[in-house]
């Protein structure tokens, strides 16, 4: 019964189903008195970063079957739990055991090196790492080969300053079994540390030699390393990448990888995910591959961050938030996790406080409740300051570009005038003059979108202004129907008529252009609504709804960024100008869109000088 459950647990674990694997192994642990199930449960816990469970099950395994293997497992769990003195004791016991084999000796020295390094005993750590590598050279001469352990020990020896000692020891076993694997690991570690004398060819040759003489899981692990190196080759042709993806898929689907440790299975999944991401045709498969890898190695922060970006790119904000929370729980100091978190923060969203609270709690449990109410204000202010600083810098340097375009246009015009009209150069100069003039006008408009406009305050009758804007927008896009529906007796708006006209014209024209290829229509509805709080002055609400193709959710947060556009020929400044003009009037502009059903932009404007100062960022629909 117990052995069958252990086999079932192994199968579930190989399939990336940790919960099912642990359930079967817990039952096996209760049905048998040996240490096998407990050891496997400890291994799974270590792979998943669950130090407490690893400590519990490794301790039980060591009690049931005392010996070097279970003591090493216990020492690893103690290291993960921060019990450094206990870990050093466990590893020392292994070294003193009469039945300690070469691999156990290598692992024990490696564990002592990690413990010494954690205690800042760098000299002791270096000595133990060197001893571990010498033990590995002996252990590697007899199968089975544990290449992951060789890699780990080689990396530690190089990182702790024993690269030359390790290389010298390696030369004493050249030509023996396992030497190529040790050489490949040392070369990789030296190259990663910046040793320019190590070439890719040296590493590839040693890996090929090591794979040729290996069998079983060692053969699979070395094959995986060679595939990884092929994936890292720069500027590889598309056909070669496609062949590599197919080879990886075949490897993952066959029994060739059975028996690989959890970290190796995670490595395989992450490699496939990275390659899937590169090709738009396979990008959707990357998510599944990252999830598969994270099932084996949930403590891999970089993979969790990549998964979060993929989910965010397809517009699933709730799913992306969950993945970013996971990344922050793994490692709250990881810079990419926080950058992904920043992408989730929309200063105008009604759920900003909730999102900030969730992120803070993920990084530091309890922090959300303490800072969740004030952090959104800081986020909003920080975003505004950063945006203002970036725009101010681009605006200052952008004038030099605009002036250069003006000079190029003037000199092109002068050259055209003196060129004979019968010569081909005349037409070329004419085309260049036209292109430069267009670019100059677009760039001037782009720069203008970055300026914070200062409105000239006056009373603006809204009804005639809207009629004028709709007629102008209809003239621009005649094939799209634009309907204006407004309530009677609209109040006047206090503000700058020209700024408001430009903002409304940009929004309505943008909606009409979106419908041009989809045979849609645009509806503009205007009404006055009561202001919140004690303000007596009403608020004007202008809703521009189109039945065009809609906007992907992943793009909604960037619509008002100068230069961003979803249209092939768009300049990306129309909505940016509109947003800045509306903000200059203490107003709000929000977007709601769904792919295939159209887009709705809502503008709210005060009818007095400070009517929206008390208005929340988003209002409930009335």
Q: Between these two residues, 162 and 346, which has the higher pLDDT value?
A: 162
Question: What is the pLDDT confidence band of residue 562, given thresholds at 50, 70 and 90?
Answer: low
Whether 430 maps to a domain, the answer reads yes
Whether 209 maps to a domain, the answer reads no
Residue 602 and residue 548 share a domain? yes
Residue 601 and residue 465 share a domain? yes
Mind listing the pLDDT tens digit for each residue in 279-293? 888 888 999 999 999
Per-residue pLDDT at 524: 93
CA distance between the termini of the chain: 65
Residue 575 and residue 466 share a domain? yes
Q: Stretch 179-191: mean pLDDT, rounded?
A: 95
Question: What is the pLDDT confidence band of residue 498, given thresholds at 50, 70 and 90?
Answer: confident
Question: What is the pLDDT confidence band of residue 260, given thresholds at 50, 70 and 90?
Answer: confident
User: What whole-number distance in Å separates Cα of residue 92 and Cα of residue 108?
Assistant: 7
What tokens were used for 535? 């303000």
Task: Give me the percent of the chain exceeding a pLDDT of 90.
Answer: 39
Whether 51 maps to a domain, the answer reads no
Per-residue pLDDT at 286: 94
Last-in-domain residue among 344, 373, 402 = 373
Last-in-domain residue among 450, 467, 484 = 450
Residue 485 and residue 585 share a domain? yes
Looking at the predicted structure, is the pLDDT value of residue 107 above 80?
A: yes
Residue 439 and residue 411 share a domain? yes
Residue 497 and residue 586 share a domain? yes
Whether 23 maps to a domain, the answer reads no
Residue 601 and residue 501 share a domain? yes
User: What whole-number distance in Å separates Cα of residue 162 and Cα of residue 182?
Assistant: 14
Q: Phi first, then psi: what are they for 508, rounded to 5°?
A: -70, -40
Residue 389 and residue 369 share a domain? no
Residue 580 and residue 500 share a domain? yes
Q: Which residues contact 2 (CB under 8 A, 6 or more apart)?
A: 28, 31, 32, 34, 36, 37
Residue 556 and residue 468 share a domain? yes
Per-residue pLDDT at 614: 40
Q: Between these two residues, 443 and 529, which has the higher pLDDT value?
A: 529
User: What whole-number distance in Å separates Cα of residue 231 and Cα of residue 240?
Assistant: 9
Residue 445 and residue 463 share a domain? no
Whether 551 maps to a domain, the answer reads yes
- Which residue in 506, 500, 516 sits closest to 549, CA to CA? 516
- Which residue in 90, 96, 156 sits closest to 129, CA to CA? 156
Q: Which residues contact 155 (CB under 8 A, 6 or more apart)?
A: 185, 188, 189, 192
Residues of the domain holding 578: 459-606
What tokens were used for 227? 């595939």
Show the DSSP H helices in 48-83 as ranges: 51-64, 68-81
Burial of 533 (0-12, 13-18, 19+ CB in 10 A): exposed
Last-in-domain residue among 450, 476, 494 = 450
Question: What is the pLDDT confidence band of residue 459, given thresholds at 50, 70 and 90?
Answer: confident
Mind listing the pLDDT tens digit for each residue in 47-67? 888 899 999 999 999 999 999
Whether 586 maps to a domain, the answer reads yes
Mean predicted lDDT score pLDDT of the chain = 84
Residue 427 and residue 316 share a domain? no
Looking at the predicted structure, is the pLDDT value of residue 318 above 80?
A: yes
- Which residue in 98, 117, 45, 101 sits closest to 69, CA to CA? 101
Whether 402 maps to a domain, the answer reads yes
Q: Stretch 436-453: mean pLDDT, rounded?
A: 69
* Total domain count, the chain: 3
Per-residue pLDDT at 620: 35
User: What whole-number distance in Å separates Cα of residue 116 and Cα of residue 88?
Assistant: 8
- Which residue in 260, 195, 200 sits closest to 232, CA to CA? 200
Whether 617 maps to a domain, the answer reads no
């Amino acid at each position: 019964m117990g052995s069958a459950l252990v086999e079932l647990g192994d199968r579930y674990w190989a399939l990336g189903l940790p919960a099912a694997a642990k359930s079967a192994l817990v039952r096996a642990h209760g049905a048998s008195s040996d240490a096998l199930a407990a050891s496997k449960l400890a291994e799974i816990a270590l792979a998943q970063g669950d130090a407490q469970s690893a400590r519990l099950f490794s301790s039980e395994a060591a009690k049931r079957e005392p010996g070097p293997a279970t003591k090493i497992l216990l020492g690893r769990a103690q290291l993960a739990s921060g019990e450094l003195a206990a870990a050093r004791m466990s590893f020392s016991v292994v070294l003193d055991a009469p039945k300690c084999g070469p691999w156990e000796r290598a692992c024990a020295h490696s564990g002592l090196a990690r413990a010494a390094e954690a205690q800042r005993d760098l000299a002791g750590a270096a000595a133990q790492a060197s001893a571990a590598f010498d033990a590995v050279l002996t252990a590697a001469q007899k199968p089975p080969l544990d290449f992951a352990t060789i890699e780990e020990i080689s990396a530690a020896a190089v990182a702790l300053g024993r690269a030359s000692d390790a290389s010298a020891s390696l030369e004493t076993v050249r030509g023996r079994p396992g030497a190529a694997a040790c050489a490949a690991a040392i070369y990789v570690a030296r190259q990663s540390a910046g040793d320019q004398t190590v070439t890719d060819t040296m590493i590839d040759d040693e890996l090929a030699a090591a794979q040729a003489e290996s069998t079983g899981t060692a053969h699979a692990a070395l094959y995986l390393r060679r595939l990884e190196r092929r994936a890292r080759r720069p500027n590889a042709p598309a056909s070669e990448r496609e062949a590599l993806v197919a080879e990886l898929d075949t490897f993952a689907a066959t029994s060739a990888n059975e028996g690989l440790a959890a970290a190796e299975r995670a490595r395989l999944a992450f490699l496939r995910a990275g390659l899937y991401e590169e090709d738009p045709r396979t990008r959707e498969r990357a998510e599944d591959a990252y999830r598969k890898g994270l099932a084996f190695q949930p403590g891999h922060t970089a993979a969790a961050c990549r998964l979060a970006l993929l989910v965010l790119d397809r517009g699933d904000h709730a799913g992306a938030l969950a993945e970013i929370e996971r990344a922050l729980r793994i490692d709250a100091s990881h810079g990419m996790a926080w950058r992904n978190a920043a992408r989730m923060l929309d200063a105008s969203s009604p759920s900003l406080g909730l999102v900030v609270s969730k992120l803070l709690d993920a990084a530091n449990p309890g922090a959300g409740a303490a800072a969740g109410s004030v952090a959104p204000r800081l986020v909003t202010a920080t975003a505004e300051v950063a945006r203002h600083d970036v725009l101010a810098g681009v605006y200052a340097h952008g004038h030099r570009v605009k002036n250069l375009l003006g000079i190029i246009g003037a000199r092109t015009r002068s050259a055209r005038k003196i060129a004979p009209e019968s010569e081909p150069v005349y037409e070329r100069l004419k085309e260049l003059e036209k292109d430069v003039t267009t670019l100059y006008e677009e760039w001037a408009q782009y720069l203008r979108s970055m300026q914070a406009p200062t409105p000239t305050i006056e009373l603006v009758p809204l009804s005639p202004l809207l009629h004028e804007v709709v007629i102008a927008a209809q003239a621009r896009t005649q094939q799209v129907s634009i309907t204006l529906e407004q309530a009677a007796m609209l109040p006047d708006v206090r503000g700058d008529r020209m700024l408001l006209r430009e903002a409304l014209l940009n929004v309505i024209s943008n909606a009409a252009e979106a419908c041009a290829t989809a045979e849609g229509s645009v509806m503009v509805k205007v009404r006055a609504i009561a202001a919140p709080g004690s303000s007596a002055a009403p608020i004007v609400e202008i809703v521009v709804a189109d039945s065009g193709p809609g906007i992907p959710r992943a793009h909604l947060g960037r619509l008002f960024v100068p230069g961003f556009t979803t249209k092939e020929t768009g300049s990306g400044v129309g909505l940016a100008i509109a947003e800045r003009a509306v903000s200059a009037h203490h107003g709000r502009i929000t977007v709601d869109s769904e792919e295939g059903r159209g887009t709705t932009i809502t503008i709210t404007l005060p009818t007095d000088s400070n009517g929206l100062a008390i208005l929340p960022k988003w209002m409930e629909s009335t």
